[in-house]
Amino acid sequence: MQRSNDHYLERESKQDQLEVGRFIKSINQYLITKKLSQRKGCEGLEITIGTMTKYLRGEVNPFDVKTRITRNLARELGMTPDSLYIYYETGEYKDSVTIQDVESWIKSTSTTGDLPRILDALSQSQSKEKPRATEKPKATTPRKPSAAEFKKLGELSAQHFADIQREEVLSAKKTWQLFLEQENSKLIKGEHLTGILDVFRGEEFLTLEAMKSIGFEYGRCPVLTAFRTMSDLPIKKEHAQLVHDCEQYIADLATKQNKTFELSL
């Protein structure tokens, strides 16, 4: 009985080593194909550089990684999370895609930027069965958030900054320094950094004009990107919803002014 148990443990240990090795390979594949540094690669996976280091050292089994991070890695590798899990377990990628895979990918990995391609592919498929409609559907204009909603978004951002401070056990000054050290933050101009710090301190309210100015300048919200690489602390539901609503409106304004704006969520 003891020999059988030892054999089982040895087999489990070997399988764990294989899974960890495949996890490291998948991360390296992501970094190499995207031509990213480890620190820059953290942004796409929404992890800190410390977490990235643990992964590459083989200290974490991929099945213990948060689902959100696995979804991000699968997205960057152009596959479904299920396919990635199968690779960890067997060492082989699935060579066929089922309708369930497509459904899983749409629910867990696709972004708003993928939606036009998905709809276009569906439209082309349907055109084989019936003539394509000549009239195009009218685009829906996003709702304009109120001044109170932009103010609330600023307050929730300040709260998340404070939550990171507690999570990482840092002073307010050290937490701000950590914010400035993020790759995305290094691109932010001094005038915008001052405004962001004032919002974090509660000395100023976030407004549509302020968020639009920053969004048009950098093509995205640099604050949320920095939050994701500073800490693994998740964005709260109310915060995420307000970010989505406000950014949808700003993205629509950017399109009308021939500017680009990438949604954070």
Coil, helix or strand at residue 191: helix
**Torsions phi, psi of 85, nearest 5?**
-65, -40
Tally of domains in the chain: 2
Q: Which residue from 207, 216, 196 is spatially nearest to 260, judged by alpha carbons?
A: 216
The model carries a pTM of 0.50
- Give me the pLDDT at residue 91, please: 85
Q: Are residues 219 and 164 in the same domain?
A: yes
In a domain, 120, yes or no: no
- Give me the pLDDT at residue 180, please: 93
Which DSSP string corresponds to 48-81? Answer: -HHHHHHHHTT-S-GGGS-HHHHHHHHHHHTS-H
Residue type, 41: G
- Give me the pLDDT at residue 141, please: 84
Cα–Cα distances (Å) from 251 to 153, 206, 220, in that order, read: 16, 17, 9
Q: Are residues 107 and 7 in the same domain?
A: yes
Residue type, 253: L
| pLDDT tens for the 265 residues of the chain, in order | 555 555 545 667 788 899 999 999 999 999 988 888 999 999 999 999 999 999 999 999 998 999 999 999 999 998 888 888 888 988 887 655 556 656 666 665 556 666 666 777 776 666 555 545 555 556 678 899 999 999 999 999 999 999 999 998 999 999 999 999 998 888 899 999 999 999 999 999 999 999 999 988 888 888 988 898 888 888 899 998 999 999 999 999 989 888 888 887 6
Q: Are residues 225 and 157 in the same domain?
A: yes
Q: Are residues 168 and 83 in the same domain?
A: no
Give the CA-trace dihedral at 71, 77, 83, 89, to 10 degrees: -90
Task: List the structure tokens of 25.
Answer: 């390979």
Task: List the structure tokens of 159.
Answer: 């709260």
Task: List the structure tokens of 130.
Answer: 């019936």
Q: Are residues 166 and 101 in the same domain?
A: no
In a domain, 186, yes or no: yes
Q: Are residues 9 and 77 in the same domain?
A: yes
What are the residue ranges of helices labelled H in the chain?
A: 2-34, 38-45, 49-56, 67-77, 81-90, 99-108, 115-127, 147-167, 172-181, 190-201, 208-218, 222-230, 237-256
- Domain interval for residue 230: 147-256
Residue 144 and residue 250 in contact, taking contact as beta carbons nearer than 8 Å: no
In a domain, 207, yes or no: yes
139: left (phi over 0), alpha (psi -120 to 50) or beta: beta
In a domain, 135, yes or no: no
Q: Are residues 12 and 86 in the same domain?
A: yes
